[in-house]
Amino acid sequence: MTKPSLPVNSPLRRGFAVAIAAGLGVGPASAHTAQSGFVLLLPTDVYLIAGSLAVAATVIFVTVLPGATLARLFRPRRLGSLPDLSQLRAATSLIALGCLALLIVAGHLGPSDPLSNLLPLAIWTVWWICLVAVQGVFGDVWAWVNPWTGFQRLANGGGQPPLKLPAALGQWPAVVIFGLAMGFALADPAPDSPPRLAGFVAGYALFTLAGVTVFGARWLRQVECFTIMLRWFATLAPLQLRRWASIGFPGWASLRAPVPPVSGAVFIIVLLATGSFDGLNETFWWFARIGINPLAFPGRSEIIWDTTLGLIGANVLLVAAFWGCAALGVLLVRAFVADTAPSTTLAFRRLSVSLLPIALGYHIAHFFTAFLVNGQYALVALSDPLANGADLLNLGQFYVTTGFFNTRDTVQTIFRVQAGAIVIAHILGVLMAHRIADDLFTTRRAALLGQIPLALFMVLYTLLGLWLLAAPRGA
């Protein structure tokens, strides 16, 4: 009996092909698009080269920077003790849970237009774009608006939960759940459809509330992927408010956080890989890989398999690439330095933290233009949540504008902000990686040698991130 084969042009076969192609590299872009033709005139090649050289220069600079100087750079200054605000945070958490319930109702009963319904605007713009950025720049706002923590305290009553999650699970459940959630966001035919999104959010909320009821706070540390993600991003902020108020160079708290397990390191890399693929799958380059004409886009329902398998492939390839960088660094130390090198696993776990600013920087850059437009729609929807003519915020005749995409100066400013976010994030990542390497390896020479592969990775990823911003897009 012959084995059945897929049609040459089937989405599944294309998906397998592009899952591999996603990590093989990209060609130079010959044109650039955003919301207007003016961006075609921007010297994006200059930005790509300058940004990559800035990161490369940082790599060279830290090789001559004394380790003690870098250690002082990431040493925070303690400002003072803080009162216990856990009870107040529990109260605001319950309020946030109530607001989430109202948003789900609005998704079912409100306008069918995603740009008028408060649920998709609250989830995709206010929470996914704004809160993530605020979390990484200003600190742990999520601690106050996390809808699960207050319910967890009530459900467990201060005692032990009924069951205990095995520590051996690590954060693998969070990796899987984050992948499924991002699959919905990127591959579902209509993730911003208010009723469809309401069903997804309601299902996720019930799943999480059941989890914290049965397994307690450990569920939030091992399974609830968005709490894990937002807590990691919060460690990048200069100001940290815990038992003490402390301020320092961005990323200092990330370096002092407990070393993530292998599953936690994979989770951090998946954050970066997913964000990068979110930009890649909109480019003409990607559409060429999956055999789609971007100027005659057939609809998201036609590329579900392509997107899903491409997302999986991008994550697997980036995890493998980063593991390879860690392994090669350890091998270089063992081969050329009379030094006791750490295990590849430990290097992989510790160095993964240096990718956090890159993941955040690309998130900010990628969604900046969406925020400029959809933020206005969110303001209008908040003022008129049921689209019945209300004006709760007294906006008057407010018109959403996209005029800033129509002039060269404003488009150039937007692109500079996006490119700057990526370059600054990579520079911070280089500094953090160097600081981690100083602790990871026992000698200065070993630290410098051991991070050569990661330094090359950082420079090349800067080039990729800037290319993604400038690449022509469709759909």
* 23 or 130, greater pLDDT: 130
Mean pLDDT (whole number) for 245-267: 96
**Angle between helix 408-440 and helix 452-470 axes, rounded to 10 deg:** 160
Instruction: Give the per-residue pLDDT at 44.
Output: 65
**Pair 111, 387: CB distance under 8 Å:** yes
Report the C-alpha gap between 221 and 218 in whole angstroms.
5
Measure the CA–CA gap between 30 and 28, rounded to whole angstroms.
6
| pLDDT surpassing 50 at residue 34 | no
Quote the pLDDT of residue 27.
36
Question: Rounded to an integer, what distance in angstroms lies between the CA atom of residue 10 and that of residue 320?
Answer: 27
Q: How many Cβ atoms sit within 10 Å of the Cβ of residue 428? A: 22
In the structure, what pLDDT confidence band is assigned to residue 50 with cuts at 50, 70 and 90?
Answer: confident
Most confident of 55-64, 156-165, 334-343, 361-370: 361-370
pLDDT of residue 338: 66
Domain map (residue ranges) of the chain: 16-75+254-475, 83-247
Strand order in the sheet with 239-241: 77-81, 244-247, 239-241
Alpha carbon distance 362, 14 (integer Å): 27
Rounded average pLDDT over 25-33: 35
Query: For residue range 10-21, what is the model confidence (pLDDT) as tens digits?
Result: 443 344 333 333
**132-188 pLDDT, tens digit each:** 999 999 999 999 999 999 999 999 887 789 999 999 999 999 999 999 999 999 999
Question: In terms of DSSP H, where are the helices of 22-171?
Answer: 44-64, 67-73, 86-109, 118-120, 132-138, 142-145, 149-156
Q: What percent of the chain has pLDDT over 90?
A: 59
Residue range 395-408, pLDDT digits in tens: 888 888 888 888 88
Question: Which are the contacts of 194, defined by CB distance < 8 A and separation ≥ 6?
Answer: 106, 107, 108, 110, 111, 112, 114, 117, 119, 120
Instruction: Calculate mean pLDDT across residues 380-406.
Output: 84
316: closest CA among 353, 269, 281, 355?
269
At residue 42 the predicted structure's pLDDT band, cuts being 50, 70 and 90, is low
Give the containing element (helix H, strand E) for 306: helix 304-336
Q: What is the mean pLDDT of residues 424-435?
A: 93
Q: What value does the mean pLDDT take over residues 448-462?
A: 89
- Tell me the pLDDT of the chain averaged across its residues: 86
Q: With beta carbons less than 8 A apart as the criterion, state whether 225 and 128 touch.
A: no
Residue 342, C-beta contacts closer than 8 angstroms, at least 6 positions apart: 330, 440, 441
Model-level pTM? 0.88
C-alpha triplet 14, 20, 26: angle, nearest 5°: 100
Contacts of 182 (CB under 8 A, 6+ apart): 274, 278, 311
pLDDT recorded at residue 11: 42
User: Of 342, 329, 328, 323, nearest to 449 (Cα)?
Assistant: 329
**What is the band of 40 on the pLDDT scale with cuts at 50, 70, 90?**
very low
Q: What is the pLDDT of residues 63-119, one digit of tens each?
A: 777 778 888 999 999 999 999 888 999 999 999 999 999 999 999 998 899 999 999
Give 293's Cβ-side CA count (13 Å radius). 3
Burial 280-303 (b: 16+ CB within 10 A, else e): bbbbbbbbebbebebeeeeeeeeb
Per-residue pLDDT, 258: 95
Tell me the mean pLDDT in the region 351-369.
95
> In the structure, what pLDDT confidence band is assigned to residue 223 with cuts at 50, 70 and 90?
very high
Q: Give the gyration radius of the chain's Cα atoms.
A: 23
